[in-house]
Amino acid sequence: MSLNKFYKGFLVLLAFGFGVNYWLKQTKNPGLPFSEIKLADQTGKVFLGVMWKGKYVLVSYFQSWCGDCARELPSIQKLQDKVGSEKISIVLISDEPFLKINKFKNQFHSDLPFFQSVQPFKEIGVGVYPTTYLIGPDGKMILRRLEGYDWASPEVLQLIK
């Protein structure tokens, strides 16, 4: 085998390795469980994710510039409307400033609760937007979806008893 073919093969393997490593980093669950996440509302009041334990929770990590986040938001609103706030809490989280969060919220005329993550997403392991979870009343994850999903689908409604 010539040295040139060897180097080309090596570069292909190296690129493949970097690609797999990047994909694994982007698709993992956040390193910090939702129950330990610190969130702030617009007034600066800090909440812990654990406060939602005891009922279903849909947690969506989003960015205001994200197209899939914008497309997913109406289905999250539909889920809330179909199931009701007594059975499920919706928690929409961004690590952006509230100026951007509010602009996003107002663009969709949403009355869903939006929070700011006290920790940057990079620190908690979120790198794909949206990263959305359905968490059961026991605090365990039931369903996770990346890059947009229809949260008002029959599949999700079936999971919420």
Dist CA 82 CA 152 (whole Å):
8
**Same-domain check for residues 94 and 123:** yes
**Same-domain check for residues 47 and 77:** yes
Query: What's the confidence (pLDDT) of residue 16?
Result: 54
Q: Are 60 and 91 in contact (CB under 8 A)?
A: yes
| Beta bridge partner(s), residue 8 | none
- Can you give the pTM of this predicted structure? 0.78
96-120 residue pLDDT tens: 999 999 999 999 888 899 999 998 9
**Same-domain check for residues 12 and 63:** no
**Same-domain check for residues 10 and 61:** no
41-55 residue pLDDT tens: 989 898 877 677 788
**Same-domain check for residues 12 and 82:** no
Residue range 131-140: mean pLDDT, rounded: 90
Structural domain that includes position 1: 1-30
Number of independent structural domains in the chain: 2
Dist CA 26 CA 11 (whole Å):
22
What is the rounded (10 degree) CA torsion for 57, 127, 27, 37?
Answer: -40
Q: Reduced to 3 states, what is the DSSP secondary structure of residue 129?
A: coil
Could you give the C-alpha distances from 11 to 7, 14, 16, 17, 124, in angstroms and in order? 6, 5, 8, 10, 32
Crossing angle of helices 67-83 and 98-107, in 10° steps, is 70
Q: Reduced to 3 states, what is the DSSP secondary structure of residue 114?
A: strand
